Copies of this chain bind each other. A is one copy, B any other.
Amino acid sequence: MIPKSEIKYIQTLFQKKFRDAEGLYLAEGPKILDEARGAVPAAIQKIFGLDTWINQNRSFYPGVEMNVVAEFELEKISQLKTPNQVVAVMAQPVVTGAIDTRGALVLVLDGIQDPGNLGTIVRIADWFGVPQVVCSRDCADIYSAKVVQATMGSLFRVPVHYTELSAWVGAQKGTPVYGAVLNGTPLKQVQNVAGGILVIGNESKGIRPKVEALLTEKITIEKTGGAESLNAAVATGILLAHLK
């Protein structure tokens, strides 16, 4: 049992403005918790779980406040349709906008508003060792429940920074800026990319003109069939697999 005031406090973290004000977010389910303790153990502030889960996992989280909750309480603090044993309060990392390409591609997302797409893209970035993801301010919030779930834990390993994109990209003088557009160089002709920035645009609107003006190389995934577009996450995967 936990106090009602604690439940209310956790529920405030369902909303972005409270998450940002507190510098916290929520992560749910045994799988995501496993990823969190592997990648960012110090970020785990408090854990609320069913007694079976807490009893089996207590020793994996030394020094973390562990609270046993009843199922009806878990339902109240969960954002999943089917609550999954445990909810953790996590500290948001401090992410700076300093570019860090480490000879790899930094991913820049312009208006990726679908939470599932954003989460899948961060997961792809993690797969390919992207050192940093930079988002426009109108991208979905990385700390919203749907995005956290869709990243499958990759958000613990990939720093995600929100900023005004055209200013940020414009400030990276001398860095090659690749972007996916409809009428660019066919992807197969783009070879030997050592690092830089890769910009992915909103699925229906593409990259905003202000950002597109900053591209130094426009790339197109060639189409041989009939579909009108590719999903933004699929396009990101194809580009990173080829360019990395």
Contact = CB atoms under 8 A, between A and B. Distances in A.
Interface residues of A, number: 36
Interface of A: 39, 116, 120, 123-130, 152-154, 157-158, 187, 221, 223-231, 233-238, 241-242, 244
B227 A123 contact: yes
Nearest to A151: B227
A227 B152 contact: yes
Nearest to A119: B231
Contacts of A231: 120, 123-124, 233, 237
Contacts of A224: 127-129, 244
A153 B229 CA distance: 11
B226 A154 contact: yes
B228 A152 contact: yes
A101 to B, nearest CB: 14
A122 to B, nearest CB: 9
